[in-house]
Amino acid sequence: MADTSYDFIVVGGGVVGSAIGYGLAKRGARVAVLDEGDTAIRASRVNFGLVWLQSKGDGMPDYGRWTRRSADLWGPFAQELRQTSGVDPEHVQRGGVIFCLGDEEFEQRRTTIMRMHNQVEPWVYETEMIDRRQMQELFPGVRLGKELVGGSFCPHDGVSNPLRLLQSLHAALKRLGADYRPDAPARAARAEGGGFAVDTPVGTLRAGKIVLAAGHGSPALAGALGLDAPVIPERGQLLITERVAPILDVAAGGIRQMSEGGMLIGATFEDTSEYTTRATTANAVELAQRAIRIMPDLARLKMVRTWLGLRVLSPDGFPVYMESDDHPGAYVAFCHSGNTLAAVHAEDLAEAFLAPRLPERLASFHPRRFHAQKAA
C-alpha cells in the first residue's frame, strides 16, 4: 500500500502549487502535490511567460516589493531547477518594455509609472519611459510601426518558458522524493486528528499541513478548511506565429519571441463568468492587428495556433495568501502571475508555510482586505 502520510499535501499542480511544493520538498518536507488530468482548466499552461515587475503592485506596494524579490531570486532559482531537474526553464533577464502607440497611450503609461514609483522605495521598480529612438536601440533590425512613440522600460523584467518551467518543477519534485499525483484530484479536504485528510479517487491521503493552490478548483475546497478563496476567472487569449530567426532580444508585453523562434502575441483581458476556454477569431484578429501596428513585418508571418485560458484573479488582482484561523496549518495561495512569482513562492512562501504560523509580513495578502473594502 502507498505511503499516505506527508508533512504537506499541496492541492494543485499548476505553477503555483508546484513551486510551493518544490520549495517545501527541497527544505526536507515530505510532500504530495495533487493534480487533475488533461481535461482540467489549467491556467499555467496558457501563459505568456513573462517574469514581470513593471506592472505589478499599483495600489499594493507590498506586491511590488514581493515581485521585485521574485525577479531577483529568479536567476539562482532557474539555475538550481536546471541542476535538480535536468530541464532548463529558459530564464532570461534583459529587461522588458511596454509599447505605446500614440501620445495618449504614452501619457497614460507615464502617469501609471509615476504613480507606482510614488508608492514605494525608488529601488523597487526603476522603470523609466523611453522614446521611439531608445526603443529602436533595444530592437535593432526591427522595423517599428510609425504610430509607436516609445514606451516604458524596466531593467528587472525578463521571461521564462512557462511549459519548461512546469516540466522542470514536476521533474524536480520527483527527484526530491515528493509525490506529484496527476491521478489524484482532491474531492474533499477536512481537518482530522490534528492534521488534514484529503479524499481522492485513489484513496484518502493525510498530512500535517495542507496548501490549497488549485486555482479555479480552490473555492470548492476552501470553506471546509476555514479558508477564503475568492477566485475570479478572466479570459486571456494568445496566438503564435511560425518560427523565424532570432530577432527580439528584449522581453515585451504583447509580443515576444520564444526560444524556438515563434512570435507569441497576446493577450486579451476579457471579463467572464463562464468556465470555458473557447478561443475566438475576433480576438485573434484584434491581437494580430495591434502587433502589426507595433512591428509591421509581423504581417508576413503565418499564424500557427491560437488558444485561450482563464486567469486566476482575486477581486483586486493581487495575490492571496492565508492561513486558516479555525484550522491552523491549512493555507490557501493564489495569484495571477504564478510564473513571475514562482521563485519567491519556492523560497519565501515555502519558508512561511513551514513556520509555526504564517508570518505577519504576509498580512497585506490576506483576503480580509476584500471584506474591509465592502464594509467601507
Ligand X SMILES: Cc1cc2nc3c(=O)[nH]c(=O)nc-3n(C[C@H](O)[C@H](O)[C@H](O)COP(=O)(O)OP(=O)(O)OC[C@H]3O[C@@H](n4cnc5c(N)ncnc54)[C@H](O)[C@@H]3O)c2cc1C
Give the span between the Cα atoms of 148 and 152, in whole angstroms: 12
Of the candidates 87, 28, 69, the one whose C-alpha atom is nearest the C-alpha of residue 344 is 69
Of the candidates 68, 51, 6, the one whose C-alpha atom is nearest the C-alpha of residue 33 is 6
Q: Which is nearer to ligand X, 8 or 149 (CB)?
A: 8
**With binding defined as CB under 6 A, does residue 254 bind ligand X?**
no
Q: Which long-range contacts (CB under 8 A, 24 or more apart) does 255-262 make?
A: 255/99, 255/291, 255/294, 255/295, 255/298, 256/48, 256/49, 256/50, 256/159, 258/49, 258/161, 259/90, 259/161, 262/304
**With binding defined as CB under 6 A, does residue 252 bind ligand X?**
no
Min CB(80)–ligand X separation in Å: 19
Among 205, 251, 312, 358, binds ligand X (CB under 6 A): 312
Min CB(14)–ligand X separation in Å: 2
- Amino acid identity of residue 237, one-letter, is Q
Question: Where does this chain touch ligand X (CB under 6 A) — which range of 74-82, 104-112, 148-156, 338-346?
Answer: 338-346
Interactions with ligand X, residue window 29-88 (CB under 6 A): 34-36, 40, 42-44, 46-50, 52
Residue found by looking up cell 503555483 in the block: 16
Of the candidates 253, 248, 250, the one whose C-alpha atom is nearest the C-alpha of residue 269 is 253
Q: Which is nearer to ligand X, 14 or 195 (CB)?
A: 14
Q: Which is nearer to ligand X, 155 or 182 (CB)?
A: 182
**With binding defined as CB under 6 A, does residue 238 bind ligand X?**
yes
Q: Which is nearer to ligand X, 46 or 87 (CB)?
A: 46
Among 23, 64, 195, 309, binds ligand X (CB under 6 A): 309
**With binding defined as CB under 6 A, does residue 209 bind ligand X?**
no
| Beta-carbon count within 10 A of 220 CB | 16
**With binding defined as CB under 6 A, does residue 152 bind ligand X?**
no
Q: Could you tell me how many residues make up the chain?
A: 376
Give the span between the Cα atoms of 297 and 287, in whole angstroms: 15
Q: Are 18 and 33 in contact (CB under 8 A)?
A: yes
**With binding defined as CB under 6 A, does residue 10 bind ligand X?**
no
**With binding defined as CB under 6 A, does residue 17 bind ligand X?**
yes
**With binding defined as CB under 6 A, does residue 340 bind ligand X?**
yes
Chain-centroid distance of CA 96 in Å reads 16
Q: Are 164 and 89 in contact (CB under 8 A)?
A: yes
Q: Which is nearer to ligand X, 89 or 266 (CB)?
A: 266
Q: Which residues contact 226 (CB under 8 A, 6 or more apart)?
A: 324, 325, 326, 327, 330
**With binding defined as CB under 6 A, does residue 96 bind ligand X?**
no
**With binding defined as CB under 6 A, does residue 11 bind ligand X?**
yes
Question: Where does this chain touch ligand X (CB under 6 A) — which range of 120-128, 211-219, 346-354, 360-368?
Answer: 211-219
Q: Which is nearer to ligand X, 35 or 90 (CB)?
A: 35
Instruction: Select the residue whose beta carbon is closest to ligand X and give its number.
Output: 217
What are the residues binding ligand X (CB under 6 A)? 11-17, 34-36, 40, 42-44, 46-50, 52, 185-186, 213-217, 236, 238, 266-267, 309, 311-312, 334-340
